[in-house]
């Protein structure tokens, strides 16, 4: 199985939905992103806190600590029950949070009637 999501609106559209009360640094206009099948390992736009304020920037989708790199695919999600205590995300959690703007999420699954698909 492989998780995918869509990120197709323009940056200003996402920010308008958040109704943010502070300025956001992005350096981009409101051109629609137009990505309907974003795969793990690709670069996606995230909203995060930087020294100078909120920033929208591209980021690699998937993360793994140095000790897990190359041993398994980089995880793209976490369980809320274990994200703060599990060793995989433990070092990342205190660094702050990020928001991935998404218009939808889906997961590819095997078709039981057609194993080739």
Q: Which residues are catalytic?
A: 2, 107
Token pair listed for 51? 């020294």
Q: Is the dihedral of CA 112, 110, 104, 63 positive or negative?
A: positive
**Residue 91: closest CA among 71, 70, 73, 68:** 68
The residue with tokens 């995989």 is 88
What DSSP character marks residue 18?
H
């Amino acid at each position: 199985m492989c998780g995918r999501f869509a990120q197709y609106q323009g940056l200003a559209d996402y920010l308008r939905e958040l109704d943010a009360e502070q300025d956001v640094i992005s350096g981009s206009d409101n051109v629609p992103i137009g990505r309907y099948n974003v795969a793990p390992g690709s670069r996606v736009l995230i909203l995060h806190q930087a020294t100078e304020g909120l920033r929208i920037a591209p980021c690699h989708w998937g993360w793994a600590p140095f000790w897990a790199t190359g041993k398994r695919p980089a995880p793209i999600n976490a369980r809320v029950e274990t994200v703060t205590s599990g060793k995989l995300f433990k070092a990342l959690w205190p660094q702050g949070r990020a928001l991935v703007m998404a218009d939808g999420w889906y997961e590819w699954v095997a078709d039981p009637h057609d194993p080739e698909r």
